A and B are shown apart, each in its own frame.
Chain A
Amino acid sequence: MRARVLLIAIAVAAALGVAAADAARRAPGFSLAGDSLTRIALGVAAGWSLIAAATVLGASGSRGAGRLLAAAGCAWLLAGLGTPGARTAPLFTLGLTLAAAAPALIGHALLVEAGDGMRTRTSRAVAIALYVFLVGLLGVLSALAYDPATTGCPTCPANLLEVTDAPGAAEELSRSGVRLGLLAVAACLGLALWRMARATSARRRRAGPLLVPGCAYLALVAADLAHSWHRGFLGSDPVDQALWTGQAAALLGMAAGVALAHAAAHRRRARLARLVVEHADAARPGALRDALADILGDPGLELLHASSDGWIDVTGQPRTPPPDTATTTLIRNAEPVALLCHRRGLLDDPRAVAEIEGTVRLGLDHERLEAQLRQQLAHLRRSRADVAAAGEAERRLLERDLHDGAQQRLAAFAFAVGLARRRAAPELAARLERAQHQVLEALDELRELAHGLYPVALAEAGLAAAIESLGDRRPGLRATGLPRERFAPAVEETAYYVIASLADRWTPETVAVTAGLDGEHLIIDMRAATNAPGDLVAIDDRVGALDGALTVETPSPGQTRVKVQLPCA
């Protein structure tokens, strides 16, 4: 379908171009191009390039503006046929009626591109005025009363629209058409310029290449209409010819502008596409944001992803859009998938947004899934850390309960027995002494139990002191170089848990422990002459809860080395 439309457009454009060139060659005196071959070629090239630009514009989403430009290109070529050079009456008549149609169509197209279509009443009124005055009045109506044969052009083909030969009326209609047309063109030019001035920088950047030469063209048309003010009709004197040449150049400029914008968009798409490929290769978190910020030219641009509980950044942290930025939601299947926070006006153009949605789809999916994964990981980690902390708190409470309760009561009981022993008869005293021993043994066991639940040294004096105290109870534990500084309770508790559990597990082997600070990490290094590190899942869980890492090595057969890294900044 599109190919057929394109073929027809090419055929029509070619035919019109040839006809216009032919007419100019046949009647150079009446032609705006004069007798210069270069100028003829320039005129034809302007028409053709406008039609070519229109197809490009239509294909890249500006359907309305594209059609208008294609029609304008045709009208421009046809305007050259309203002379004795036209070979047939229909072409001559078309050329006569559409002599000033190109400015109307181009003015309309500029209004479409400068604003958001034709939504305002002013835009619609100006466009209607352009058509009514330039095509209706100056073209069709004045043609109705125009007889070329009686008005100084005996060689002209017949005017098929001629209803009556009334030179006076034709002249009056034409004069009004010129004057009112000038006003309409001036209004259109003013409106287009005003719209441009008020537009966002992004829209200006995008529409500028078309609008600037377009406005120049309208200005030249206005100048020619002003030049025709007294004359009352469109002529072909040297001034007209010079202005026409300028118009042709402006039309070429418009076509070039469309091509430039198209090439820029293409380049941007190519970069976006390359970005997706690169992103899939090396999925560095945040690479997508950096690339979008680079391509869209907004260094402060932020990319947030959708999650079940609001927007999150690439690390999975919940985020709200920063203040003083505009936001654009990227939508897929009616679901928001991402939020771009950017400079105001950067993405006012729905086409640019659609382009981003289309091209970065893969990368966006990839990064969103990763962000969501990180968010879930963070949730998981937090809950694991919470569970561990709750467990520690519980053990600490138990230790305190034991100390303040059972240990105190047993000690008081031991005092009472000790006292009773002193006063008892020898036989009873001996039995009481045995009882006292049992109480003291029970107290010893209770003390060890309490220490196992929670070493009081850990909270009061830190990891090194607690491990020293542990070493008194586990003669196989050899701790050296433990850092004396204090860390967050969760870090100290986890480090203690790791060392105590491994020391327990590897008993009766000698276990060597060293620990040190490496930047923002506490590194615990434990070695033992054992083949079996045992099941380390519980330890790994505790380490993982703090976002730490556990590695197991076998430096030599029969040796096991466990390294634990805990963030402690």
Chain B
Amino acid sequence: VRVIVADDEVLLREGLGRLLTEAGFEVAGKAGDAAELLRLVELRRPDLVVVDIKMPPTHTDEGLAAAREIGDRHPHIGVLVLSHYLEPRYAMRLLEEHPERAGYLLKDRVSDVAVLADALHRIGEGECVIDPTIVSRLVARRRTGPLEELTEREREVLALMAEGHSNEGICERLFLSPRTVQTHIRQIFLKLDLRETSSYHRRVVAVLTFLRSG
């Protein structure tokens, strides 16, 4: 699996590169800003991109803008956005603009090679991954709207979906049978009024509803 890394801080860029190699990914290129990243993406066509949210010139949301651009041009390329900020807004914007194969994680979280590898694999499989700290904060928020109707268990399932876990992953974590998890997910879709379409898409919309609910 080929990955391109983009971060304006050399130390982090190199560190990420080594972590990725260690985790068994092929680092297909390293970029110091969004423009270089986009150029490298066109040139090398990677499977995944790991990008810092704040890069030159304005140090605000260059990473998100680049993710959107990549998603528009190459929907099959997964994007993992790294950030120091615990802001659900950023995660929400990422998923709205890049609804599949996207992830938002705290930068320090990926110092654990296993976490990084897991997140990238899940993104590669088409899921979306949201940082667990953001998810737990959202769970703690008082709910308004359709999410109010979810049961405690259904909310737990939805939170795990937001973190990017597959049905099997959710089974493992909640010690439930696959059938039960399936039922919960169906209930969630029903209560959030999500009709049958592609199941990936429905998962993303459910997570977006969850993110927006704050």
A455 nearest in chain B by CB position: B87
Chain A residues whose C-beta falls within 8 Å of the C-beta of B85 in the assembled complex: 447, 456
Contact between chains at B113 and A411 (CB < 8 Å)? no
Contact between chains at A411 and B19 (CB < 8 Å)? no
Contact between chains at A412 and B141 (CB < 8 Å)? no
1/0 contact string of B144-169 vs chain A (CB within 8 Å): 00000000000000000000000000
Instruction: Identify the interface centre among B86, B87, B89, B214: most chain A CB within 10 Å of its CB.
Output: B87
Instruction: Identify the interface centre among A400, A410, A415: most chain B CB within 10 Å of its CB.
Output: A415
Contact between chains at B12 and A408 (CB < 8 Å)? yes
CA distance A404 to B9 in the complex (A): 9
A428 interfacial by beta-carbon distance below 8 Å:
no
A419 interfacial by beta-carbon distance below 8 Å:
yes
Closest 4 CB pairs of A and B: A415-B15, A414-B111, A412-B11, A418-B111
Select the stretch in A129-137, A297-305, A470-478 that faces chain B.
A470-478
Q: What's the nearest-Cβ distance from chain A to residue B34, in Å?
A: 17
Chain B residues whose C-beta falls within 8 Å of the C-beta of A412 in the assembled complex: 9, 11-12, 15
A461 interfacial by beta-carbon distance below 8 Å:
yes
Chain A residues whose C-beta falls within 8 Å of the C-beta of B179 in the assembled complex: none
A427 interfacial by beta-carbon distance below 8 Å:
no
Contact between chains at B15 and A419 (CB < 8 Å)? yes
B182 interfacial by beta-carbon distance below 8 Å:
no
A392-424 interface with B by 8 A CB criterion: 400, 403-404, 407-412, 414-419, 422
A contact patch SS: helix
Q: From the candidates A411, A422, A456, A472, name the one contacting B108 in the complex (CB within 8 A).
A: A411
Q: From the candidates B18, B89, B113, name the one contacting A457 in the complex (CB within 8 A).
A: B89
Q: What's the nearest-Cβ distance from chain A to residue B96, in Å?
A: 14
Q: What's the nearest-Cβ distance from chain B to residue A376, in Å?
A: 40
Q: What are 10 residue pairs bridging A and B, where the CB atoms are less than 8 Å apart in the complex? A: A400-B59, A403-B54, A407-B84, A408-B9, A411-B12, A415-B18, A440-B111, A460-B60, A471-B141, A472-B137
B22 interfacial by beta-carbon distance below 8 Å:
yes
Q: What's the nearest-Cβ distance from chain A to residue B196, in Å?
A: 33
List residues of chain A with CB under 8 Å of any chain B CB. 400, 403-404, 407-412, 414-419, 422, 436, 439-440, 443, 447, 450-451, 456-457, 460-461, 465, 468-469, 471-472, 475, 478
Knowing A415-B16, A475-B140, the reply to whether A409 touches B11 (Cβ < 8 A) is yes
Knowing A419-B15, A475-B140, A478-B142, the reply to whether A411 touches B111 (Cβ < 8 A) is yes
Known: A443-B108, A447-B84. 13 other contacts (CB 8 A): A404-B59, A407-B107, A408-B11, A414-B108, A416-B15, A422-B22, A439-B108, A440-B108, A440-B111, A456-B85, A457-B89, A469-B86, A469-B87
Contact between chains at A456 and B87 (CB < 8 Å)? yes
Count of A-B contacts judged by CB separation below 8 Å: 79
- Size category, B interface: 20 to 34
1/0 contact string of B5-27 vs chain A (CB within 8 Å): 00001011001101100100000
B112 interfacial by beta-carbon distance below 8 Å:
yes
Contact between chains at B87 and A411 (CB < 8 Å)? no
Q: From the candidates B12, B84, B214, name the one contacting A415 in the complex (CB within 8 A).
A: B12
Q: What's the nearest-Cβ distance from chain B to residue A401, in Å?
A: 12
B214 nearest in chain A by CB position: A468
Chain B residues whose C-beta falls within 8 Å of the C-beta of A440 in the assembled complex: 108, 111
CA distance A383 to B3 in the complex (A): 53
Knowing A411-B84, A419-B18, the reply to whether A461 touches B89 (Cβ < 8 A) is yes
